[in-house]
Amino acid sequence: MATIAFIGVGNMGGPMARNLLKAQDKVRAFDVSPAAVKHVTEAGATESKTALDAVKDADVVITMLPAGAHVRSVYLEEQSILTAARKDALLIDCSTIDIDSARAVHAAALKAGFDFLDAPVSGGVGGAEAGTLAFMCGGSDKAFARAKPILEKMGKRIVHAGGAGAGQAAKICNNMLLAISMIGTCEAFALGEKLGLEHQKLFEIMSAASGQCWSLTTYCPVPGPVPTAPSNRDYTGGFATALMLKDLKLSQAAAQGAGAATPLGAEAAQLYALFAAQGNAGVDFSGIIKMLRGGQ
Ligand code: NAD
């Protein structure tokens, strides 16, 4: 049984912390939102009044925060996790953040003598609740080996992608591909509709042909063929457009920094920015088919 400090217990961090409690770990929670903390103290976590209190004497520190600026603030400020945590504590950041921030925090943690892992997730709130998240990890072999048994309590696929920042890099490459393949799948259905094809027929043909992809067979953007997809619930309850746009912006910033050409990634970022600006930030990202149908 480990003592785990959990900083950031929102939509994702909350259910992740609850799965650690279910696995009999002790969880000390800190969040700037009292409502978020309440959800985990009700499940057995102890509330900490500050991040520094939470990490004191903890075996493991997990952060699950909105963006790079928040992660930098809790790790890099003068009074921070790096000054308050036990020197043999394992530090894991599960937030999705920019690669520069991930590498800066890694470097500072290593300099201070800590094992540190960037471990962003995919699987969304449903995966966090079910304990079936996929973790993409960046850091040393030793940090990964220490983190794996802990991450297994919150996820079902734990992959070591490489060194510092490699988890973040893998996550944004995957989500850029997802955005591109979703837009392509939506365009194929929108064209099929105009050409008089039935959704189900087109689905059966493409899912057994070379157009097959996850956006089609698991997350079909038209209602009917895949009953569990958000398209059957008017595009609610899935992966919000605002979060997809965040990941696309991160991938574009990374591409620019690395000098990589990602013309389709850039186009996807523009289309999702437009869709979000039309009042759809909270709509599932497969809902972009509504905008694509409208274009002539
Ligand atoms: P969220 O906004 O629900 O949770 C973030 C929490 O961090 C909030 O409760 C907020 O109050 C807290 N917080 C902010 N600054 C803080 C600070 N300085 N100290 C302590 N707490 C602080 O967001 P979320 O949906 O849980 O997402 C968390 C991360 O996971 C993000 O990086 C997001 O991109 C990533 N992610 C989200 C999903 C998803 O489907 N929601 C999927 C994959 C990855």
Domain extent for 175:
169-292
Q: Do residues 94 and 9 touch, judged by C-beta distance below 8 A?
A: no
pLDDT digits (tens, 9 = 90+) for 1-57: 899 999 999 999 999 999 999 999 999 999 999 999 999 999 999 999 999 999 999
145 sits in which H/E element: helix 141-151
Kindly report the average pLDDT of the chain as a whole number.
97
Strand 90-93 and strand 3-7: the pairing is unpaired
On whether both 138 and 236 belong to a single domain, the answer is no
pLDDT at 237: 85
Estimate to the nearest angstrom the gap between the alpha carbon of 73 and the chain centroid. 19
Q: Which residue, 106, 138, 164, sits at the end of a domain?
A: 164
Estimate to the nearest angstrom the gap between the alpha carbon of 41 and the chain centroid. 24
196: its two tokens: 């008089």
How many structural domains is the chain composed of?
Answer: 2
Which residues approach ligand 1 with their CB closer than 6 A?
7-8, 10-13, 30-33, 36, 51, 64-66, 70, 73-74, 95-96, 121-122, 124-125, 239, 243, 246
Q: Which residue, 164, 180, 215, sits at the end of a domain?
A: 164
3-state secondary structure labels for all residues of 22-55: HCCCEEEEECCCHHHHHHHHCCCCEECCCHHHHH
CA distance 59 to 156: 22
Residue 35: how many CB atoms within 10 A of its CB? 10
Identify the CA nearest to 181 among candidates 208, 149, 206: 206
Residue 108: how many CB atoms within 10 A of its CB? 17
Percentage of residues of the chain with pLDDT beyond 70: 99
pLDDT digits (tens, 9 = 90+) for 99-146: 999 999 999 999 999 999 999 999 888 899 999 999 999 999 999 999
The pLDDT of 278-290, averaged and rounded, is 97
Estimate to the nearest angstrom the gap between the alpha carbon of 63 and the chain centroid. 13
Catalytic residue among 171, 194, 201, 246: 171
pLDDT at 86: 97
On whether both 229 and 155 belong to a single domain, the answer is no
Q: How confident is residue 242, by pLDDT bands cut at 50, 70 and 90?
A: very high
Strands (E) across 8-154 are located at: 26-30, 46-47, 60-63, 90-93, 115-118, 121-122, 133-138
**Ligand 1 closest atom vs CA 239:** 40
On whether both 129 and 173 belong to a single domain, the answer is no
Could you tell me the distance, in angstroms and rounded to a whole number, from the CA of residue 10 to the centre of ligand 1?
5
Is residue 77 pLDDT above 80, yes or no? Answer: yes
pLDDT at 1: 85
Q: How confident is residue 244, by pLDDT bands cut at 50, 70 and 90?
A: very high
CA distance readout (Å), 98 to 4, 128, 253:
25, 21, 8
On whether both 155 and 194 belong to a single domain, the answer is no
CA distance 286 to 264: 17
CATH, residue 276: 1.10.1040.10
Could you tell me the distance, in angstroms and rounded to a whole number, from the CA of residue 247 to the centre of ligand 1?
13
Q: How confident is residue 293, by pLDDT bands cut at 50, 70 and 90?
A: very high
On whether both 143 and 237 belong to a single domain, the answer is no
On whether both 140 and 12 belong to a single domain, the answer is yes
On whether both 77 and 183 belong to a single domain, the answer is no
On whether both 134 and 176 belong to a single domain, the answer is no
Is residue 248 pLDDT above 90, yes or no? Answer: yes
CATH, residue 129: 3.40.50.720
pLDDT digits (tens, 9 = 90+) for 35-51: 999 999 999 999 999 99
pLDDT at 295: 58
Q: Which residue, 102, 136, 164, sits at the end of a domain?
A: 164
CA distance 205 to 283: 28
pLDDT digits (tens, 9 = 90+) for 143-185: 999 999 999 999 999 999 999 999 999 999 999 999 999 999 9
Written as one letter, the residue type at 95 is S
* Mutation test residue for ligand 1: of 11, 283, 285, the one with most atoms within 8 Å of CB: 11
On whether both 58 and 203 belong to a single domain, the answer is no
Tell me phi and psi for residue 140, to 5 degrees. Answer: -70, 160
pLDDT at 296: 46
Q: Do residues 171 and 273 touch, judged by C-beta distance below 8 A?
A: no
